[in-house]
A and B are shown apart, each in its own frame.
Chain A
């Protein structure tokens, strides 16, 4: 259930993040959904997804302890379902 961590992801192009004391508001201009990112670490993870080869790397870069990665995988799947983040097209490069 944590295969999402091994995949390349990015913030959806229709999504804007607004920093707030608790984390951030994420707004999807297409489906008009508003999501609250309730932890600053999660905001950092989401921001760095696009520059990371996979979600696992983004978690490590944001300093999230490995013991919490499963919980973050659940959160990322929720964001993916709302199209807040989407699979990044890596131009057909297969590993």
Chain B
């Protein structure tokens, strides 16, 4: 980043510009599908089953055309598991052919060696493999049986194919917060970059947040670890609520919701941020509200988010300038006021707010979770074979004929 060049009148800082919103997002998250082969307990979008209203290939292409016209330089594609869409690889090519770079998040299910070779041959495509434990034991408790092996196989394939600088994306939880060095080692071994993000109480994350969000002591260790790691570890600007421990972490250190980022969901709904899939943060729809650019520029919700806001209950805190009250989605989904402290406020104001007996957690507005738990890998007690005697159908338990099941024998 270029340092500001001296001037008599101090120009508005970048963050001030960003808080008023840009003409187009810097980047945006696009969940291509709610379908997923996994059922991670903390899924932000409560994914599992495909939504029948999912945007068609042509509708997705139209969104990419708009992003190109708006000069959105890259999109973070996710889901669900985006690679299970049959047109995923086509849309990937369509985007990069239209100067929209792609970083996609995957659990690795489709990253076999041929796909890894293809990805290594492209420019402008970045791959991010999700891993929530540095050991199978820790990871699979959150992401499901076999998911550690699946992610590591994808990373092995990418490394073998010569794909450089893949990302390993880790949601920091109470269970894996002690494994940060191990994660870094896995990343280094694969020529990849580690990316740590914050556990948010969004989607199914609301169900497990109480037991999985890092303890205050772990937050402190995480902060110190991030300060030591500096620019070598990515955070997607996730941890600006930790800035209250002292110095800022690398990044913009502000909530970009509706100002510099947003989310397009699989059915074309536009939300203020990837962690806020809820009617309260719904700005419009790319199909019914005149396209993505129109939603970005004219949504009433986004106009409100871009208006200057005081610090509310946090205004008098001396750390407000660095943490800016923390994460809007984390507050909303834990039932805290949006102009008050973050539930994980490092000054301890969050814990006090969470203790308020009047606090009510908002209901989720959409759920695409699998309706059944994934089948355990066990023998299926059924055999399929030829009927013993095709001439005589088996008798149904409901058959009323007095001769049901009767066979004439010679």
Contact = CB atoms under 8 A, between A and B. Distances in A.
A25 B18 CA distance: 12
A81 B113 CA distance: 34
Interface in B141-195: none
Contacts of A75: 2-3, 5
A79 B1 CA distance: 8
B308 interface: no
Contacts of A72: 5
Contact of A37 (B2, B26, B73, B74): B2
Contacts of A68: 5-6
Contacts of B99: 16, 29
Contacts of A2: none
A42 interface: yes
Given A32-B101, A39-B5, A16 B71 contact: yes
A35 B2 contact: yes
Contacts of A36: 1-2, 14
A91 interface: no
Contact of A32 (B4, B22, B74): B74
Nearest to A38: B4
B: contact size bracket: 20 to 34
A78 B1 CA distance: 8
A38 B11 CA distance: 9
A36 B319 CA distance: 26
Interface string B11-22: 110100100001
Contact of A22 (B5, B12, B73, B101): B12
A78 B3 CA distance: 9
Given A34-B26, A38-B14, A29 B123 contact: yes
Interface in A71-92: 71-72, 74-75, 78-79
Contacts of A18: 23-24, 71, 73
Given A68-B6, A78-B3, 6 more contacts: A16-B71, A18-B24, A21-B17, A25-B22, A36-B14, A39-B5
Interface of A: 16, 18-22, 25, 27, 29-30, 32, 34-39, 42, 68, 71-72, 74-75, 78-79
24 contacts: A16-B99, A18-B73, A19-B23, A20-B22, A20-B23, A22-B12, A25-B22, A25-B71, A25-B73, A27-B73, A29-B73, A29-B99, A32-B74, A32-B103, A34-B26, A35-B1, A36-B1, A36-B14, A38-B2, A38-B11, A39-B5, A39-B7, A75-B3, A78-B3
